[in-house]
Structure 1
Amino acid sequence: MLKRTMLKSICALPLLPWAGAARAAGQIIDGDVSFDWHHTHERLTCALRAPTKGWLAVGFNADKTLKGTRFVMAALAKGVERVEDRIAVVPTHAQVETLGLSSALTDTEITHTQGGSILRFSYPVTFRDQPRLSLAPDSTVHLMLAWSQDTDFDHHSAWRKHYDITL
């Protein structure tokens, strides 16, 4: 119990710019990984904190499957920030632009911290190219969180979990 309280207080450090949040925010804490979100101006703003200097990924799907998951994948290597909008086309994943779609990402940032990395980004609450996927307040989605020890996006995840959440 004490360990969980300590983790909550460490992860309670502000990950998101809460000023101006139009709706209630949410948070998932799973060990040393935390994911925060809030809605503002027809967008879902998110932050993932993980204990790695490798890549991080956050994905959303209307279905309880990896296939079709719309996700952000990011890494910071040698001072170069790489943040991409992707879709899982199992067994691989592709940048949305290679599938003829437009990126929906804004407000992207990945930073290293003493204990790992933080990925911040914003997605629209609706996608023209994926009408079944809604990130609007009170929507239920299948959330994927993942990270790797490597910055190479082709490297497999060291940690990946899925959650059913209500935004």
Structure 2
Amino acid sequence: MKHLILFSLLFMISSTKKLETEGFVLEWTHYKHHIQVSISAPSTGWVAVGFTTESSIVNTNLIQGYVSDGEVFVQDQFVTDLGEHPPVEALAVAPRIFDISGGENKGSTTLNFSIYTKKVDNLHYELAEGNKINVWLAYSESDDFDHHSRKRILRQITL
């Protein structure tokens, strides 16, 4: 029995955490060096989740994406000012997202991606398990990233 408990502790997989609020569903699972994230919203336009330690949307690491004709488009962005959220590559930083997928179903869009947890630059945040962080959840009726959000809310979560 002791061996079974030890084996379980050594190979324990983090459980998935979930936030459901105002039509959004955010789920995340921690792994050794990354978090797997899923964000859904009641729209067939773009969907976004942003990570920040502040209450302002400025200085938020924004992951924004959409699905068009079954193809998923996602960008790792940084909010430099209201309405300004260039891809991090335009700010000379490498994207931190990978394993991107998603889909549309019954008027909702879901994006799935993984993001590294370690902070290595000034455009991303430390996403270690147990950290408290603010998340912006947003969606639009359009796939155009420059189209204003139809809904945008801020929540605090414990990773």
Name the TM tier (shorter chain).
0.7 to 0.9
Distance 2:95 2:123 in 1: 15
* Greater mean alpha carbon deviation, residues 45-54 or residues 20-29: 20-29
Matched positions, count: 148
Counterpart of 1:159?
A: 151
Moved over 3 A (4+): none
- CA, structure 1 residues 64+150, in 2 after alignment: closer, same or farther (shift >3 Å)? same
Higher Cα Rg, which structure: 2
Unaligned runs of 5+ in 2: 1-10
Deviation at 1:131, TM superposition (A): 8.2
CA contact (8 A) 1:59 1:72 kept: yes
Deviation at 1:125, TM superposition (A): 0.8
Choose from 45, 61, 64 the match for 1:54: 45
Distance 1:88 1:134 in 2: 17
Letter in 2 for 1:53: T
Answer 1 or 2: which has greater strand percent.
1
Pairing 1:9-158 to 2, within 5 Å after superposition? 22-91=13-82, 92-130=84-122, 133-158=125-150
Deviation at 1:68, TM superposition (A): 1.1
Deviation at 1:36, TM superposition (A): 0.6
Distance 1:83 1:112 in 2: 14
TM-score, normalised relative to structure 2? 0.86
CA contact (8 A) 1:47 1:119 kept: yes
CA contact (8 A) 2:88 2:123 kept: no
Secondary structure of the structure 2 residue equivalent to 1:98: helix
Letter in 2 for 1:61: T
CA contact (8 A) 1:143 1:165 kept: yes
- What is the aligned-residue RMSD (CA, Å)? 1.8
Distance 1:80 1:64 in 2: 33
Letter in 1 for 2:88: V
Secondary structure of the structure 2 residue equivalent to 1:138: coil
Unaligned runs of 5+ in 1: 1-19
TM-score, normalised relative to structure 1? 0.82
